[in-house]
Structure 1
């Protein structure tokens, strides 16, 4: 993977530095690369590596036109159950529009004056590479190896637009950026076929190189036949989903099912399978896979390194995003809605969960309202962290702040993020921000931390360097990989397509494989009727997707695909009758037993407050005298140690922590989503036209003649309703 990570440096070394800073200097050849470069394998390979450099997903960025959502608390993830705070698409007080003040995001065009900082500039580069290598004097083997990668990357660029807009222009040749080069939008069906064709070409061309275990050595991390086939499976599933398949055309489900099922053997041949070690404890395999660099779970993703200063560095900042402030991180806060949704240890939905109602409730009567950690699915403990959870790392945070707890230089770190108030008037005010967190967290505390994808010191060696004097925090220069498509998603796509095609038994088998990896056995907590009840089976698949892929940037796409904000019942102005959902009983939410998110729902947070009848108020500084619990001489337990079974000869760790909570803490609801100015709560509001985005005014201005999507203002036509129908074939 060094060649992919270091592609910018390699390009310079190959004498192709003009592909970066002076990319637009030559007005006739806009990337300043002549066709001769493609006759040399090193030069042609350098051009492919340059595509990787600009097109690979970036987990450090908020979701935008060039990068998919990767689980950060960005506008897309905050439009799901995972985070609170009214993200981009669900704010009831900020309707997106083309001409208004709250602009619709531009995932179609972006910058027009910089080819690299442009959606279509990247596609242009792919087309240049494809044409250049195809017409070169390279051997057939060399051509296949390089072209397969370029075709995949072009398909990825198109998929990243089509999922938002439906049909877009299909451009397969290098064009001059002039008005006469205009290409109209193709139908969505034509775009889906085009993407799938590119992926078929990629899979075939890469088969000889990659179906014998995949790339190795410095080439590890390049796309493979498995990457192409897995992405095609995702694309076919999108095409079969209610968003694009309003009448539930069963042939689309059959096509997705047959393809994905057949693809599994080639994906396995590329060396991909579920990551397991044979020593799973409390879901440790599930946690560890995110910090394994050469990992069979990764079907398509981005590798990183720990380099610090030169132009070859490519670091992953996730560890810094999620670690608590007293470890020099920043911290991401999970919504109480999502914490409460996680299954119980028996694999069933928690009692009283008012969604996924076609799935059986757990028989476990644990009080997860006050003690959310009791008897949950093993992935719960690897996804969240709350007071009393061990969360080891390697590094000394004290130089950054003398009040930070060392915990043996992080090796024995236990999160204690309970809070107290300095003013009694704040105690019962859900809007008060005047709570102070223990262990020097103070105002930087989070109620429940996101822990998913962490480089947990108890299960993996650090892939990061730690320097507490570093300006942006101690966790720096991480080499943790980002998995955009991992093998578990392949199995989940298989399960969903199988269920949609009527093969529910096969769907259940895939769910079992995923649950077995984290420690389930037997029926894995899956109810008997899933093999015979299609709606219940599909509900189970979507629930499993939500849990397994949490904080990986996949949830919003699933909510859109299945129209789970309103069940597909709300209407878009100007939409034809073909937009009416007639499959799934006319309401996907009712059919699934899922409570639509537009139905008076909001995401608040939770925190654990010291019992004020015992401890009263506390101080506002990082010293131990500010903490009423420690000031009272209470000894905190050593924390849940996930290296050991939850229940062992020393007793049940969860029960012991519950007893401590019961004596000292109170769960407090904390404002997440906004309130109105009169203090009334506001609720999620996703407008039906958001299922298909409209082009921004900037994109329309730069693409005269392009059709706007139905339901959105067309600034090229006086603000009238758009005319493009993403569902028309």
Structure 2
């Protein structure tokens, strides 16, 4: 497929120290030689090192937030996550964005489409370089003199990662070139784009092979402790379920072919006992309070919830920096890590739409019209009142404990009143001008406890390593290599057992097995404290109304998997930006692209308010008018100057009903909610609203990816082809 000059850049660099991992067993630092021959595969240690090099290249790595990034885009405040309810994300300036109405992305000039097809020319950053390395390993092990048992264990892992790489490509582009061998670097090696169906079949074949080859080694409780974290049969079948649900979803399945749903349902149902045999299950914990069992797996290693996981460590060494999980450092407030992070800010939209304590949507939420509204009043000025337990594990707000291991209470940019084991977040703000207090566009707010200009309104707390949960995986150290830094060895879970159950629910619903779909939702909700007494907070009509059932599944995915990099994919595959209504705006779109299933519009069928046309704002809590304004320094906090005593923060280790009331009363006396500008405004200060262009459901090849490849590589319909003078693309992602 690639031109010869590209392949010269595919040298097999095998420094496995880049492997995101713990520092034990197979995840230890290992190095392999850049110069090797087929004989390396005849030695089990050598062959294992080659397999480990595949892990190092292909494991999801949330320590970087750019480009293809091993599938970890979408968890940060990047262009994928900013195209969902999770963050705000429209700028008034020209930028690469999936939802900016002013700047339509193209493949050649101006606001260019991101390149997930090739990304970079460096081997470790280029998906095709990874695939080439995988094919080399498959060929080398297959031809080696190793025992069949050892071949099976090694090949099963590598087949999984080839499928993983292709899944990343296919979800963006539909059909891509299928390459199963190590190609020569000449024009004769050109491989055209295969159909999406052929690609899905290829991915599923690799995953079936992986599951079969790994069965003997992993279905008796999983790998031993020295190899924990490796791919299992369950991992392969879990990814297969995700892939089959994608194939059945509206983005690929415009006619709502029920066979695809039934096939996905049967496959996922069959995967559950295999996953259980590999040691996977829904983590329940021994003292589940306020959603603690839901939150614990994110900060705990060797957890039954982890189906596909990347491991990390806290080594204080520059050469080992890639092994630190940087997510925690990014989400922690500025005054807990010496300013090395600063936090991610949730949109007011997602905060306001999270379910109430009875499991139902707030009465003010108009996103899902076919789902029941809560009988509990939503108090917009006190959004922490009476919410789903997962709310408190997903967001942090003024007046909540959020503890960590270490002490950043002195010096630098911190000046916190307590050490990490007693840290509470107080991120209320004040303004230096009375005019700014009510100005939604003013950014002149200053945060308490020396957060100052580095404050966030509502912090993303999801996937935190919380010391109150017994986790010490996030550690602030004042004596680290950078003077003061925060390290985290928390695992990154790409697929957890809860997602498998949600995939099961979705496939069962799509196939018409509504009772089974509801059963999976009940399992998810029972883990966070809902019971049969109120039907687990679910509507009572889900087993008889397929559209309402699917809406409930999608909502549950949105809540359960928030800030795990799944929402943008869900919105694309269900076409939730426009319901599939705008296909006609795509240049050259064939008639087969028109959505005919789901009554011709997924949003209408689901009762989901299309995301296009909406906007997201930010939420903050400023000091009440009676306290006046403040200055720009730590000690100019108007509440501190007025001698206001803070109430006890919410402690999630204890029942929170009474604690909420105490905090609410303190807010009512001292703070005011302010919704400030989130998504941008144009030069005339007119609100910009979300617009996801219909052609984005299938991306085109960026100009760099096109021009660096053979001119016979087809561009996607609806996108200009850099290899053919900007002519419209000719590749149909939906053609079989």
Tell me if both proteins adopt one fold, taking TM over 0.5 as the criterion.
yes
Do the aligned residues in 2 keep the contact of 1:609 with 1:666 (CA within 8 Å)?
yes
Aligned to 1:377: 388
Structure 2: distance between partners of 1:452 and 1:51: 29
Of 330, 333, 347, the match for 1:324: 333
Structure 2: distance between partners of 1:11 and 1:67: 18
Aligned to 1:121: 129
SS at match of 1:67: helix
SS at match of 2:469: coil
Q: Does 1:16 align with 2:32?
A: yes
Aligned to 2:734: 727
Aligned to 2:56: 53
Structure 1: distance between partners of 2:598 and 2:477: 54
Structure 1: distance between partners of 2:437 and 2:482: 32
Once the two structures are TM-superposed, the CA of residue 115 in structure 1 deviates from its matched residue by 2.9
Aligned to 1:606: 619
Once the two structures are TM-superposed, the CA of residue 471 in structure 1 deviates from its matched residue by 7.5
Structure 2: distance between partners of 1:15 and 1:422: 56
Structure 1: distance between partners of 2:480 and 2:446: 25
Of 452, 457, 471, the match for 1:442: 452
Once the two structures are TM-superposed, the CA of residue 406 in structure 1 deviates from its matched residue by 3.6
Once the two structures are TM-superposed, the CA of residue 474 in structure 1 deviates from its matched residue by 4.8
SS at match of 1:528: coil
Aligned to 2:588: 574
Once the two structures are TM-superposed, the CA of residue 63 in structure 1 deviates from its matched residue by 5.0
Q: Does 1:235 align with 2:251?
A: no
Q: Structure 1 stretch 173-182 or stretch 298-307: which is displaced more?
A: 173-182
Once the two structures are TM-superposed, the CA of residue 365 in structure 1 deviates from its matched residue by 1.5
Aligned to 1:248: 256
Q: Does 1:199 align with 2:207?
A: yes
Q: Does 1:65 align with 2:94?
A: no
Q: 1:257–1:524: structure 2 CA closer, same or farther, 3 Å change rule?
A: same
Q: 1:573–1:524: structure 2 CA closer, same or farther, 3 Å change rule?
A: same
Matches within 5 A, 1:510-525: 510-522=520-532, 523-525=535-537
Once the two structures are TM-superposed, the CA of residue 399 in structure 1 deviates from its matched residue by 4.0
Matches within 5 A, 1:79-478: 79-86=83-90, 88-112=97-121, 114-309=122-317, 311=319, 314-328=323-337, 329-367=341-379, 369-401=380-412, 404-407=415-418, 409-468=419-478, 474=484, 476-478=486-488
Structure 2: distance between partners of 1:632 and 1:59: 43
Aligned to 2:10: none
Aligned to 1:23: none
Q: Does 1:33 align with 2:36?
A: yes
Once the two structures are TM-superposed, the CA of residue 429 in structure 1 deviates from its matched residue by 1.1
SS at match of 1:233: helix
Once the two structures are TM-superposed, the CA of residue 218 in structure 1 deviates from its matched residue by 2.1
Q: Deviations over 1:168-209 (max 9, x none)?
A: 000000012322211000000000000000000000000000
Q: Deviations over 1:672-701 (max 9, x none)?
A: 111101011101110000000000111111
Do the aligned residues in 1 keep the contact of 2:299 with 2:463 (CA within 8 Å)?
yes
Once the two structures are TM-superposed, the CA of residue 380 in structure 1 deviates from its matched residue by 0.2
Give unmatched runs, 5+ long, in structure 2. Answer: 1-15, 91-95
Of 652, 662, 686, the match for 2:668: 662
Structure 2: distance between partners of 1:184 and 1:513: 44
Q: Deviations over 1:379-399 (max 9, x none)?
A: 000000111111112222134
Do the aligned residues in 1 keep the contact of 2:371 with 2:552 (CA within 8 Å)?
yes
Structure 2: distance between partners of 1:514 and 1:594: 22
Do the aligned residues in 2 keep the contact of 1:327 with 1:397 (CA within 8 Å)?
yes
Structure 1: distance between partners of 2:298 and 2:116: 28
Task: Give me the TM-score of the superposition, normalised by structure 1.
Answer: 0.94
Q: 1:105–1:415: structure 2 CA closer, same or farther, 3 Å change rule?
A: same
SS at match of 2:672: strand
Q: Structure 1 stretch 377-386 or stretch 170-179: which is displaced more?
A: 170-179
Q: Deviations over 1:465-493 (max 9, x none)?
A: 32246587855231100000000000000
Task: Give me the TM-score of the superposition, normalised by structure 2.
Answer: 0.93
Structure 2: distance between partners of 1:276 and 1:327: 30
Of 522, 526, 533, the match for 2:545: 533
Q: Deviations over 1:53-110 (max 9, x none)?
A: 0110001221522421251111111111100022721112222111121111111123
Of 576, 585, 588, the match for 1:564: 576
Once the two structures are TM-superposed, the CA of residue 377 in structure 1 deviates from its matched residue by 0.2
Q: Deviations over 1:537-568 (max 9, x none)?
A: 00000000000000000000000010000000
Structure 2: distance between partners of 1:5 and 1:415: 31
Once the two structures are TM-superposed, the CA of residue 498 in structure 1 deviates from its matched residue by 0.2
Structure 2: distance between partners of 1:553 and 1:11: 24
Aligned to 2:494: 484
Once the two structures are TM-superposed, the CA of residue 6 in structure 1 deviates from its matched residue by 7.5
Aligned to 1:693: 699
Structure 2: distance between partners of 1:175 and 1:688: 35
Aligned to 1:22: none
Q: Deviations over 1:615-646 (max 9, x none)?
A: 010121012xx111121111110111111011
Do the aligned residues in 2 keep the contact of 1:398 with 1:468 (CA within 8 Å)?
no
Do the aligned residues in 2 keep the contact of 1:307 with 1:315 (CA within 8 Å)?
yes
Aligned to 1:713: 720
How many residue pairs get aligned? The number is 705
SS at match of 1:443: coil
SS at match of 1:657: helix
Q: Deviations over 1:236-259 (max 9, x none)?
A: 000000000000000000000011
Q: Does 1:595 align with 2:619?
A: no
Structure 1: distance between partners of 2:483 and 2:529: 35
Q: 1:619–1:14: structure 2 CA closer, same or farther, 3 Å change rule?
A: closer
Q: Deviations over 1:198-224 (max 9, x none)?
A: 000000000000001111222111100
Structure 1: distance between partners of 2:25 and 2:652: 42
Matches within 5 A, 1:608-623: 608-612=621-625, 614-623=626-635
Q: Deviations over 1:242-293 (max 9, x none)?
A: 0000000000000000110111000110000011212101101111110110
SS at match of 2:446: strand
Structure 2: distance between partners of 1:8 and 1:35: 28
Do the aligned residues in 1 keep the contact of 2:63 with 2:325 (CA within 8 Å)?
yes
Q: Does 1:671 align with 2:689?
A: no
Do the aligned residues in 1 keep the contact of 2:115 with 2:702 (CA within 8 Å)?
yes
Structure 1: distance between partners of 2:687 and 2:493: 37
Do the aligned residues in 2 keep the contact of 1:399 with 1:468 (CA within 8 Å)?
no
Q: Give the superposed CA RMSD.
A: 2.0
Do the aligned residues in 2 keep the contact of 1:63 with 1:76 (CA within 8 Å)?
no
Give unmatched runs, 5+ long, in structure 1. Answer: 19-31
Q: Deviations over 1:296-323 (max 9, x none)?
A: 1010010011212174551101111111
Structure 1: distance between partners of 2:517 and 2:31: 52
Do the aligned residues in 2 keep the contact of 1:4 with 1:221 (CA within 8 Å)?
no
Q: 1:685–1:541: structure 2 CA closer, same or farther, 3 Å change rule?
A: same
Structure 2: distance between partners of 1:431 and 1:15: 53
